[in-house]
Amino acid sequence: MDGQLSFTRCEIMTILSTQQIETFWRDGAVVVPGAVSEGQLDKLKADMAGWVEESRSHGHAYGQTLDGRPRFDLEPGHSRKVPALRRVASPTEVSPAYHDVAFNAKLADMVADLIGPAIRFHHAKVNSKLPGSATVVKWHQDFPFDPHSNDDVITALLFVDDVTPDNGPLMISPGSHKGPLYTLWHDGKFTGAVSEDLAARFERDAVACHGPAGSACLMHSRVAHASSHNRSDGPRTLFIVTYAAADAQPIGPIAVPSVHAGAMVRGEDTRHIRSIAFDMPLPEIPKGASFFVQQAGGE
């Protein structure tokens, strides 16, 4: 063996299959079952049910996050009888169950398979579409809301309820993560959505992401996505956690602030920054409770 180096083969164990990893990088998203245990899922559902009950006694967005904006956001038309709680900001701060899932579930291991091994928590929220509510999400990419030094950033959308073709599933434009970053500014206003022409283009080749409760849609931060309203008689609750590779440093303030922002979730903090070239207008932090207000034409 003179003059030859001998290598020990190192097997890297992943939770995601090779096919799931390939789908993610090809389409910009993949739906994976079993991202949390049944026990974890039950606790998420129970806390959400409690928040919906509590929302019945409020007429306006309420509660408070780190920057003083409301934690619980209500869709216009919300009432005691037909509650339309549409967003809980930073639930990891007020619910051990949501914190446990963001940090300790398979969900994070799956994300680490894609952009790890070292990943950090960026922010988290619950998006809810209760039956009878009109909540919709207009077409956008997440990266222009949450710019980082590089785009190894994933939005992990955990299905707290079954997500079906009828209850307002996330729709993505497959492959759009390989294309440009699209502005969310129109006529001098930050609208949190792409232009109507672009939205129509994305709509034409849209693919819906659905599956049983406990599944997750792992979505690249540059993928264009949207969702329509819930036409079913059951809720559609997503627990959404944004994770970034440890060397992807956020640029600018975080629209959904959290005491957990920047915390390592898997791997070691490398204290390293990696950058890629891109240019885009900076986002605007909403003055209201959430980006739903901006997408509806407010601030």
Interface residues with ligand AKG (CB under 6 A) are 127, 137, 142, 170, 225, 227, 238, 240
Instruction: Using the minimum distance from each CB to ligand AKG, give the nearer residue, 118 or 176.
Output: 176
Given a contact cutoff of 8 angstroms between Cβ atoms, the answer to whether 69 and 258 are in contact is no
CA distances from 114 to 14, 19, 121, 240 (A): 9, 12, 15, 17
CB of 85 to ligand AKG, least distance (A): 13
Shortest distance, CB of residue 170 to ligand AKG, whole angstroms?
5
CB burial string 110-140: b at 16+ within 10 A, e below: bbbbbbbebbbbbbbbbbbbbeebebbbbbb
Q: Which is nearer to ligand AKG, 14 or 203 (CB)?
A: 203
Complex with ligand AKG: residue 168 or 247, whichever CB lies closer? 168
Contact 51, 85 (CB under 8 A): yes
- For residue 173, the minimal CB distance to ligand AKG (Å) is 12
Of 63 and 192, CB closest to ligand AKG:
192
Residue 92 near residue 102, CB atoms below 8 Å: yes
**Nearest distance, CB of residue 127 and ligand AKG, angstroms:** 3
CA torsion sign for 165, 166, 167, 168 is: positive
Q: Of 114, 123, 145, 93, nearest to 22 (Cα)? A: 114
Shortest Cβ 240–ligand AKG spacing (Å): 6
Place of tokens 């939770």: 15
Nearer to ligand AKG, 118 or 158 (CB): 158
